[in-house]
Amino acid sequence: MSRSIALLAALLFDAVLGDPPNRYHPVAWMGGAIAAAKRRAPRQGRTAQFAYGAALALGGTAAIAGLGHLLNRVLAYPPDPLQWLLEGLALKAMLAMRGLGHAADEIKTALAADDLPEGRRLLSWHLVSRDTSTLDEAQVAGAAIESVAENTSDGVIAPLFYYALWGLPGALAYRFINTGDAMLGYRDAEHEWLGKVPAWLDDLANLIPARLTAALMAFAAVLMGHDAARTWRTWRRDAYQTASPNAGHPMSVAAGALGVELAKVGHYRLGAGQRQPCAADIAASVRLMRATTLLAGGLLVLVCYARRHSRPHGVVK
């Protein structure tokens, strides 16, 4: 079966359909399973918490990849056109392009209407876990742009990347890893040891996709008429300012492409000295995300095609 066709179908389905309700969403199911496991985690003892978090991250990843292999077997029975559509729908559930764009657009609309409290609320509801109650307009806009840039990798290109390499098992395993980090990978008293392996695993899984996203985003920025030299300079200078070894790559490219400063007080300043972001820049970041996704889709379709035709004769899947 051609993964390249299923990949294109997934992008089309995501653009047209968006996200299903949580009760039907596989990523929400993963989150529910992780939350249930977290309630049973040891409350004391670093070693016990570390071991439990490791077992949850590694065991859960292996289990979800196994489900992906089972799903592959089920999808081997329908005729080809239906296979492509069903696999595209399954992969679409791993993507968040339309949902991310919709969330960013809501924040942009609130800020454009001078409704800062609503912008703060929407930012906290949709995109970030930090306290937004004291953020000014530029900080809300900047946080939205940062989230769009980072999630271009985490929520779109990384699942496609692992699908191109290993099919549905790869995409499902990646989304479990990423969800586990989002729920457990914090440096507070409750999660410091429980979340270490989930955080490490997510850092490893995003090592290549984050840099691929940044490179494609920089190329997309040039195609869209943004300043190429500024984009490259900001990426090279600021990519490692963030605590995450990966998030700073697409975020710094977005800062350079849009010509704005993206700052989190006490943590980083990407594009330092550039102008403060505004509502219009959120819309520009969404356009950059979509252009980057189109480039990634084209590249990964070629990867799927090359992998298909590099297999020994007679191997179809």
pLDDT at 170: 98
Residue 93's domain comprises 3-310
Contacts of 279 (CB under 8 A, 6+ apart): 108, 109, 111, 112, 137, 141
The answer to whether 163 and 299 have CB atoms below 8 angstroms apart is no
pLDDT at 119: 98
Beta bridge partners of 269: 263
What tens digit of pLDDT does each residue of 115-128 get? 999 999 999 999 99
In a domain, 316, yes or no: no
Instruction: Quickly state the pLDDT bin for 316 (edges 50, 70, 90).
Output: very low
Per the structure, how many domains does the chain have? Answer: 1
In a domain, 315, yes or no: no
In a domain, 59, yes or no: yes
In a domain, 317, yes or no: no
In a domain, 128, yes or no: yes
This prediction's pTM: 0.94
In a domain, 227, yes or no: yes
CA–CA gap between residue 25 and residue 12 (Å, rounded): 18
List the structure tokens of 192.
């410091």
As a dihedral over the C-alpha atoms of residue 137, residue 139, residue 141, residue 143, rounded to 10 degrees, the angle is -150
What tens digit of pLDDT does each residue of 126-170 get? 999 889 999 999 999 999 999 999 999 999 999 999 999 999 999
CA–CA gap between residue 128 and residue 139 (Å, rounded): 12
In a domain, 260, yes or no: yes
In a domain, 275, yes or no: yes
What tens digit of pLDDT does each residue of 260-274 get? 999 998 899 999 999
List the structure tokens of 56.
């949850």
